[in-house]
């Protein structure tokens, strides 16, 4: 029997990461033994290459203001595992983690659950009898993701870009097909702006499932977008709804786009019957809680930012947004990437747009090491062994004309969170 929180966390992280087969039979078997807790409350299912966590957070902020008890199941965590399972933005307690781990081990004996399956079962079980609705973020993909055992009120695809190509790729069309697996019969689907080369894949799946589809920039819009001093300001607009002067933290347009996706989802869930009265609620509450590791300001002057951008699309948007908002400032980057990411493409993108890139590695088996990089041909990219020392050096020498960006992995952000707090 597991007695302490750390023992419980060690048990979870000690489980296998992958199955040899790509199906949902084991998690369905485990949930059935537990009485299928995921069917005892309403759910919203969220997938997408980027923007999932932000969209979940915005939507939870809105739903909480209707007096609903709102569950959030997300990944990854930044500081503590408990971040992954929350109710009304309150993390599951250490004691509940221990209790659930022991209970699930006992009830699912003989079923070989992998780590993400076990954690998903924990979330579903914790929410039972505690929430009115739970927003469930996928791990990877959608159709074969271990969360895809729910029948949601609504589904969301925030974006479709290249990432996890070895698992759900290799092409963006393959990724779109996998993510379209979140669409269920007769269940509405809200999408961010879809790339032209995959739009028909998503629309065809929605048509075959007889599901109403609402796409950003086709059915609802971000208008009058502006950003100043880490505040996005925009108007949400659709055929019968206009909500002006909405503000969310950040300097990337994607912040407003993710907020708009959450607003559309919220209006559908509330059936748009009280749209006028909800306008004030949306404006006042959409940014109530913020996430760590997303455009996180570590220091204001000189400006130091941490962001967990870890794929090409996210890094591209991040660096372009920085250059657009601070065109006269030089950018210095500390980057750590995982082996399965498009590291060469990311460095090729970054190098001509910044003053310097310092590449380093983490102590994880998944993290790319020095030998995994080919830095020849880059004049301003350098590998550093000790990134703590490099961070201290850069910050001690940084001027007000420079921005220091730390990015590439939520694992890096997690490790540095305590460093900067201290």
- pLDDT tens digit at each of 422 positions of the chain: 999 999 999 999 999 988 767 789 999 999 999 999 999 999 999 999 999 999 999 999 999 999 899 999 999 899 999 999 999 999 999 999 999 999 999 999 999 999 999 999 999 999 999 999 999 999 988 888 999 999 999 999 999 987 655 565 588 898 899 999 999 999 999 999 999 999 999 999 999 999 999 999 999 999 999 998 899 999 999 998 999 999 999 999 999 999 999 999 999 998 854 555 688 899 999 999 999 889 999 999 999 999 999 889 999 999 999 999 999 999 999 999 888 777 889 999 999 999 999 999 988 888 889 888 889 889 999 999 999 999 999 999 999 999 999 999 988 998 898 888 76
**CATH code of residue 338:** 3.90.190.20
The C-alpha atoms of residue 120 and residue 73 are separated, in whole angstroms, by: 8
Please give the full DSSP string across 124-178, using - where no structure is assigned: HHHHTTT-SEEEEE-SS-STTSTTTT---SEEEE----S--HHHH-SSHHHHHHH
The C-alpha atoms of residue 405 and residue 149 are separated, in whole angstroms, by: 38
Please give the full DSSP string across 286-331, using - where no structure is assigned: TTSS--TTSSEEEETTTEEEEE---SHHHHHHHHHHHHHH-TTSEE
204 and 261 in a single domain? The answer is yes
404 and 312 in a single domain? The answer is yes
Residue 165 located in a structural domain:
yes
196 and 345 in a single domain? The answer is no
79 and 162 in a single domain? The answer is yes
Cross-strand partners of 137: 46
Residue 291 located in a structural domain:
no
Residue 236 located in a structural domain:
yes
Residue 87 located in a structural domain:
yes
Residue 390 CB partners (closer than 8 Å, separation 6+): 334, 358, 360, 384
Residue 290 located in a structural domain:
no
Domain final position from 254, 285, 316 = 285
219 and 341 in a single domain? The answer is no
Residue 248 CB partners (closer than 8 Å, separation 6+): 58, 231, 232, 255, 256, 259, 286, 287
331 and 269 in a single domain? The answer is no
Determine whether 270 is exposed, middle or buried from the number of CB atoms within 10 Å of its CB (0-12, 13-18, 19+).
middle
Angle at 187 between CA 186 and CA 188, to 5 degrees: 115
222 and 312 in a single domain? The answer is no
List C-alpha distances in Å: 140 to 49, 254, 257, 388: 9, 20, 21, 30
Of 286, 271, 331, the closest CA to residue 307 belongs to: 331
121 and 64 in a single domain? The answer is yes
Of 325, 310, 196, 170, the closest CA to residue 253 belongs to: 325
- Please give the helix or strand (H or E) that residue 51 lies within, else none: none
Cross-strand partners of 297: 305
The C-alpha atoms of residue 137 and residue 131 are separated, in whole angstroms, by: 16
211 and 317 in a single domain? The answer is no
Mean pLDDT of the chain: 93
What is the domain range of residue 325?
A: 296-421
Residue 158 located in a structural domain:
yes
Domain final position from 285, 308, 330 = 285
Domain final position from 234, 250, 285 = 285
Q: pTM higher than 0.85 for the full model? A: yes
280 and 309 in a single domain? The answer is no
Residue labelled with tokens 């895809």:
148
Q: How many domains does the chain fold into?
A: 2
């Amino acid at each position: 029997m597991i007695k302490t929180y750390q023992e419980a966390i060690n048990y979870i992280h000690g489980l296998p990461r992958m199955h040899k087969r790509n199906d949902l039979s084991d998690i369905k078997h485990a949930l059935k033994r537990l009485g299928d807790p995921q069917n005892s409350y309403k759910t919203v299912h969220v997938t997408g290459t980027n923007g999932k966590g932000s969209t979940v957070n915005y939507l939870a902020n809105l739903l909480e203001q209707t007096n609903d008890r709102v569950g959030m199941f997300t990944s990854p965590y930044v500081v503590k595992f408990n971040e992954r399972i929350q109710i009304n933005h309150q993390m599951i307690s250490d004691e509940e983690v221990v209790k659930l781990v022991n209970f699930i081990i006992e009830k699912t004996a003989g079923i070989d659950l992998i780590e993400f399956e076990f954690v998903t079962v924990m979330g579903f079980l914790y929410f039972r009898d505690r929430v009115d609705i739970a927003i469930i973020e996928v791990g990877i993909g959608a159709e074969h993701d271990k969360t895809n055992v729910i029948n949601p009120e609504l589904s969301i695809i925030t974006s479709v870009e290249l990432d996890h190509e070895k698992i759900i790729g290799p092409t963006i069309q393959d990724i779109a097909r996998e993510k379209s697996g979140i669409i269920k019969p007769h269940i509405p689907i809200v999408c961010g702006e879809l790339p032209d080369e995959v739009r028909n894949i998503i629309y065809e799946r929605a048509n075959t499932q007889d599901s109403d589809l609402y796409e950003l920039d086709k059915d609802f819009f971000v208008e009058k977008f502006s950003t100043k001093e880490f505040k996005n300001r925009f108007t949400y607009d659709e055929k019968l709804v206009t909500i002006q002067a909405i503000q969310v933290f950040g300097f990337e347009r994607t912040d407003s786009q993710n907020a708009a996706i959450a607003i559309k989802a919220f209006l559908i869930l509330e059936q748009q019957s009280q749209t006028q009265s909800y306008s004030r609620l949306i404006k006042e509450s959409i940014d109530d809680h913020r996430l760590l590791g997303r455009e996180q300001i570590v220091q204001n002057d000189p400006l130091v930012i941490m962001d967990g951008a870890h794929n090409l699309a996210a890094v591209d948007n991040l660096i372009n947004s920085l250059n657009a908002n601070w065109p006269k400032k030089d950018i210095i980057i500390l980057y750590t990437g995982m082996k399965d990411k498009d590291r060469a493409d990311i460095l090729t993108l970054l190098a001509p747009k910044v003053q310097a890139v310092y590449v380093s590695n983490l102590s994880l088996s998944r993290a790319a090491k020095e030998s995994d990089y080919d830095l020849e041909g880059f004049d301003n990219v350098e590998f550093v062994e000790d990134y703590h020392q490099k961070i201290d050096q850069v910050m001690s020498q940084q001027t007000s004309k420079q921005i220091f960006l730390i990015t590439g992995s939520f694992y890096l952000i997690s490790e540095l969170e305590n460093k900067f707090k201290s």
